Structure 1
Amino acid sequence: MKKSYYLFNPGRLSRKDNTLKFVPTDEEGNEGQARYLPVESVKELYVFGALDANSALYNFLGQQGIAVHFFNYYEFYTGSFMPRDYLLAGKVQIAQTQHYLHTAKRLMLARLFVEGAAFNMLKNLRYYASRGTPLHTPIAQIEGLMQHIESSHDIETLMGIEGNIRQIYYECFEHIVSGFAFERRSKQPPANELNTLISFGNMLCYTLCLRQIFHTQLNPTISFLHEPGMRRYSLSLDLAEIFKPLLVDRTIFSVLNKKILQASDFRRELNRCVLRPSAARKFVEQWEERLKTTIRHRTLNRKVSYEHLVRLECYKLIKHILNIQTYKPFKAWW
């Protein structure tokens, strides 16, 4: 079974027959023990340290359909190497482009992305409110903002509503987890522990959505809520809005409430807060476990993993743009 590999140490990656050879290096350039990864077991690579590799390796990775996602020193996502778009279909791409260019069609999909995201955020808040956390006021505020989604007549207004909803939602985090203040949403750089985890988790969710889109006939550069010109794979941002509350935020609540991560797992550097490498590994372990978790799908009547839910969302979107079935955003029922 293929799986994701996370390279936290700097080093050199090369091909050796049908395996990938990774040789880690320390700050002085001294080489450590080589690690061999059978290529048939590799789904994708996440690179957090400096990586030395040549074009021959990337040609090999492309042939094997292996994506490589790059993060900088501060765990900030910088880009991806993606194999050739072997599943792209002209009919789907034309329909996807037409939905973007048609104002009403694009706005309809954008509203649905925001609706699904807001619903899943409320699902999290209601869970903790039912257990005594004082969240009734922010829940009512988000419910009020959601009433304006359908009446929004342009993307800019809709993005404003989504931003206000998410700000209220994020301010609830410090009530859900103890010992960590949220203060305000800060991204580049994240100013405190909660913002660091949110940014780190969101980037993992973004790359997850990108990988799932890659395995469908959708074009990841043509989006509906986010502007295509802002980032290269903007459709990933659209889909991530729906799944961040379920995958990222629930992982954050879990690692902090269970004390898997504590204040000592972060370090301050000038005006930013950074995850220590050991803490990033712990978070990734919990993230991978969550992706493997299965639920019984109400429509399919079989168990599917959280990871596969994202792929199913892509299929639903394809059916919508091909006028087969109206898209309905995924909404958690548990």
Structure 2
Amino acid sequence: MERTIHIFSSGVLRRHGDTIAFEGKDGTRYLPVEAVAEIMVHGEVDLNKRFLEFLSEKEIPLHYFNHFGNYMGTFYPHEHYNSGFMILKQAEYYLDPEKRLQLARRFVSGASRNLLRVLRYYRSRGKDLDARIGSMEDLTAKLETCATIPELMAIEGNLREMYYNAFDTILDHPAWTFDRRSRRPPENSLNSLISFGNSLLYATSLSEIYKTHLDPRIGYLHTTNWRRFSLNLDISEIFKPVLVDRLIFTMVGKGMIRPSDFHRESGGLFLTEAARRRFVEEYENRLRTVIRHRRNGRLVSYRRLIRLDLYRLEKHLIGEEPYDPFVAAW
């Protein structure tokens, strides 16, 4: 079974026959290439052109994160599923203002419904979230009247602000206060967790796009410009509440992440390497968790759900059926 390889140690990645070899301070680790779906590099790792050619041949994306855990970029192998027809369809929907707006609205709507799903889940467990849920429901209803992408982005930003302000109520602990969203650098522990979790999800979504006919450079909510990838940002908006935020609440609530797991550097607060390792382990466990699919009743993993959402987007673009984003059912 293919899996994601996370590398935190410093060392060298190289090809060894038909195997991936990582040479670190603890010796050499050999990874059968057929068992590797993607590689996420968190440490100081050296590699050469021959190794990148090997990854391209085996269709394995490699994602880079910096010293602070921020996503930096991806070695995206030669596309093997991309089709000229699908690229033209993606461009058609981007260049037509009404078609782009329709898709962007669906991304924001899916994200909003999952944000509300998270809040309703914690309300059912005794958290006082009625007023915040009501305000977000009212704002979500205004999505249908948005006439431009900036209007959609403004509502999405306000929804996120309302949602993040509910974190203090959900966690209910003086050591874990949200204050406001801050990114580069994150100014407190919750912002640090959110940024790291979102970075992981951006990379995961990009790897899943690679396995479809879609081109990751053409997004709809996030503007397609000089940024290399944007579609993974779109699809991640839908899954952030389900995969990242719920994981944060679980790990903080169970004491798996503590205030002592952060260090201050360069004006921000960041996870220690040991804490990032724990977070990554739980994140991968969450991706492997299976649930009952609400459409066909089959058991599917959360990682697979991302791919299925992308397949539905493909069907929308070729006119088979309207895109209906994933919404959690717990």
Same fold (TM over 0.5): yes
* Partner AA of 1:59 in structure 2: E
Partner of 1:186: 182
| Other structure's SS at 2:27 match | coil
* Rounded Cα–Cα distance in structure 1 between residues aligned with 2:227 and 2:202: 11
Spell out the pairing of 1:1-334 with structure 2 (5 A cutoff): 1-24=1-24, 31-177=25-171, 178=173, 179-229=175-225, 231-334=227-330
CA drift at 1:230: 5.5
Residues 294-324 of structure 1: CA distance to partner in whole angstroms, max 9, x if unpaired?
1111222211101000000011001101111
| Other structure's SS at 1:127 match | helix
| Other structure's SS at 1:239 match | helix
* Rounded Cα–Cα distance in structure 2 between residues aligned with 1:229 and 1:172: 33
CA drift at 1:233: 1.1
Residues 146-188 of structure 1: CA distance to partner in whole angstroms, max 9, x if unpaired?
1110101000111000000001101111221233011100000
| Other structure's SS at 2:250 match | helix
CA drift at 1:34: 1.4
| Other structure's SS at 1:78 match | strand
CA drift at 1:270: 4.2
* Rounded Cα–Cα distance in structure 2 between residues aligned with 1:290 and 1:69: 19
Q: Which sections of structure 1, spanning at least 5 residues, go unmatched? A: 25-30
* Rounded Cα–Cα distance in structure 1 between residues aligned with 2:261 and 2:299: 35
| Other structure's SS at 1:147 match | helix
Residues 187-232 of structure 1: CA distance to partner in whole angstroms, max 9, x if unpaired?
0000111000000000111111111111000111011100011631
TM-score by length of 2: 0.97
Q: Which sections of structure 2, spanning at least 5 residues, go unmatched? A: none
With 9-18 and 279-288 compared, the bigger mean Cα shift is at: 9-18
With 235-244 and 299-308 compared, the bigger mean Cα shift is at: 299-308
Residues 82-106 of structure 1: CA distance to partner in whole angstroms, max 9, x if unpaired?
1101101111111111000111111
Equivalent pairs counted in the alignment come to 328
TM-score by length of 1: 0.96
Query: Which runs of structure 1 show a deviation greater than 2 angstroms over 4 or more consecutive aligned residues?
Result: none
Partner of 1:27: none
Residues 54-81 of structure 1: CA distance to partner in whole angstroms, max 9, x if unpaired?
1000000110111110011111111000
